[in-house]
Structure 1
Amino acid sequence: MKIGLIGTGWIGEEHVRRLAGSVAGAEVTAVSDIDPERAAAVASLAGARVIGSAEELIADPEVQAVVVTSWGPAHAEQVLACIAAGKPVFCEKPLTTEAADGLRILEAEQAHGKRLVQVGFMRRYDAGYRAIKAVLDEGGIGAPLMAHCAHRNPTQPESYHSDKPMVDTAVHEVDVLRWLLGEEFASVQVVVPRSTSKRFPHLVDPQILLLETASGARVDVEVFVNCQYGYDIQCEIVGETGAVRLPDPAAPLVRAAGRASYEIVQDFPSRFADAFDTELQEWVDSLRSGEPAGPSAWDGYAATVVTNAAVEARRTGAVVPVDLPERPAFYK
């Protein structure tokens, strides 16, 4: 599968390394970026060509499928161009930054008549989350009633602003909980505790996302992006007859100097490295046998609707309805 990649920032470079070095059946044949020097450096990792623009890359006859890892606001037009060209596209989250653009993608893909879009929600490929999914699908804890989640980062750069905890960070919990619970969210509220002194002054941190599903299950997500001590992802789902918790990453327990301890992961690339590998391998495998089987354009659109509502909820203090249309049969 000859793949072209748009956007050679950190995640783009990592995906080129994976596709060229550890994903079977894939070849990175072309890359494009607004920074030609950066594009050339990343292209050299895979022996790929540099193409001057995203539009040219999508149209290139040697490119069979496209990976979009550009700036979020550019995703919509690039994904739409891939659909117009009839080429499968793996788009890193967010699919779009505005819900209206997500609707345009849904309409274009349905008009094409076949799934082309997969969204990069890698949590669905993590072994721990997949184990939780199996427990829920087997009815191991009865009907889910509540979920308690935490998404903690050690620090964030000054460019990280107060909407990003919803649109860039909690979006992962929004998607993975939709997948785990098997239903959509109906409303969202954001409450704000006292802010940490370890943040830049313009940032509200931490924030707590309160969600209600269509059936009435309740979800709380703590987003704390300057926790200082490490990258810590927690998830517990409580059901009628039991509870299931996401395991911490495996680490040796050290007993020394009068205490027992284990190391805490410091960044998301380390925590989800295996999930990224599995995600891209399964995407390539699905293209070779048919069409993308992972998170769909509907999943990307639904997540954007929820995070857009969460931004409004934080700004207004209100409980904001999640205004999702009926899911098209195409995505069922």
Structure 2
Amino acid sequence: MRDLRIGVVGVGMMGADHAERVARRISGARLVAVSDPDMDRAGALAATFGDVRAIDDPLALIGDADVDAVVIASPGFAHAEQLTACLEHAKPVLCEKPLTMDAESSLRVVEAEHKLGKQLIQVGFMRRFDPEYAALKELLDSGELGRTLLLHNVHRNRTVPATFRSEMIVRDSLVHEVDVARWLFGAEITRITVHAPRPSGLVGEGVQDPQLAVFEMANGAMADVEVFVNCQVGYEVRCEAVGEKGNATIGLGVDVLTRRAGHWGGVVPDDFRVRFGLAYDLELQRWVDAVAKGTIDGPAAWDGYAAAAVCTAGVRSLQEGRPVEVEMVPRSEVLG
């Protein structure tokens, strides 16, 4: 079989990283095109790979006959239109989070895909592919720790651009923990409260950073998340699951622990590409392998909708300063 010909839409930090990954590290795939509103950036990136085209219109890339599958790494506000185009052209697509910017448009995407009778959309919740998260999931599912009762999460970035506002912290950062909680518990989030403690003095006027979120799960369990996207230290992601018979923690960075001159420690990575590089590699490889078989191998459009519904409620909670019920259409009504 020939290699899967992939086009990447959006070549900022994430899209450029995916383009490099497809071109150099993923077997059974070939990067053939990239698209970005900044054609200088798209052209420069395409030139680094040789036989790769830069296409100015993302919808043209999606409809191009020489593109078999698409990776969407554009800003979230563009996802709904681009996903719809992928469905219209029956192109398998790996879409970076969020699926779309709100629950209503995400639900429309889920319904449109369902009408086709085939799953074409996989959502880029790459933590499910991270070896530490996968091991934690296996441990919890084994029952060795009894029922999982609580989940504690920390999600910190060194810095983010000044354009990264309070609502984006919910939709673009917290959304990862939304998916993690749903996945590890195997249950939906029914209520979310986003607290806004005293903000850091190092962020822009009006930006609520850090934030503290509390999820209430359909099975009675709970999860909390600290999100601090301007923590100044580095990229830190940790997760502790508390069960009836024990607990387990990942993300401590203890795989390389140094002791010298009366001190001990390790390294805090600068950004997500270091911490989750292997997870992205595994995610892309498994997606390519699944597309070759006519399926997906990871979070589906429904998972993207569920996360969008939680984040929509989370933004309301942040704005109104109160718990907000998560409004979701029952899965059975949409997918049967």
Normalising by structure 2, we get a TM-score of 0.95
Match of 1:2 among 2, 5, 11: 5
Equivalent residue, structure 1, for 2:129 = 125
Correspondences of 1:87-98 after superposition (within 5 Å): 87-98=91-102
Correspondences of 1:154-169 after superposition (within 5 Å): 154-169=158-173
Amino acid corresponding to residue 14 of structure 2 in structure 1: I
Counterpart secondary structure, 2:303: helix
Correspondences of 1:1-332 after superposition (within 5 Å): 1-46=4-49, 47-328=51-332
User: Is contact 1:16-1:45 (8 Å) kept?
Assistant: no
How much identity, in percent, do the aligned residues show?
Answer: 45
Q: CA deviation at 1:250?
A: 4.7
Counterpart secondary structure, 1:147: strand
Per-residue CA distance 1:207-232 (angstroms, 9 max, x = gap): 10011000111111011122222211
Amino acid corresponding to residue 114 of structure 1 in structure 2: K
User: Is contact 2:121-2:300 (8 Å) kept?
Assistant: yes
User: Is contact 2:111-2:334 (8 Å) kept?
Assistant: no
User: Is contact 1:17-1:45 (8 Å) kept?
Assistant: no
Amino acid corresponding to residue 13 of structure 2 in structure 1: W
Instruction: Tell me how far apart the structure 2 counterparts of residues 330 and 244 of structure 1 sit (CA, whole Å).
Output: 36
Instruction: Tell me how far apart the structure 1 counterparts of residues 34 and 266 of structure 2 sit (CA, whole Å).
Output: 40
Per-residue CA distance 1:117-170 (angstroms, 9 max, x = gap): 001111111000000000011112111111111111122221111112211111
User: Is contact 1:251-1:263 (8 Å) kept?
Assistant: no
Q: CA deviation at 1:261?
A: 2.0
Runs of 4+ in 1 over 4 A off after TM superposition: 329-332
User: Is contact 1:296-1:331 (8 Å) kept?
Assistant: no
Structure 1 unaligned segments of length 5 or more: list them.
none
Counterpart secondary structure, 2:160: coil
Deviating more after overlay: 274-283 vs 192-201: 192-201
Counterpart secondary structure, 2:27: coil
RMSD: 1.5
Instruction: Tell me how far apart the structure 2 counterparts of residues 3 and 229 of structure 1 sit (CA, whole Å).
Output: 36
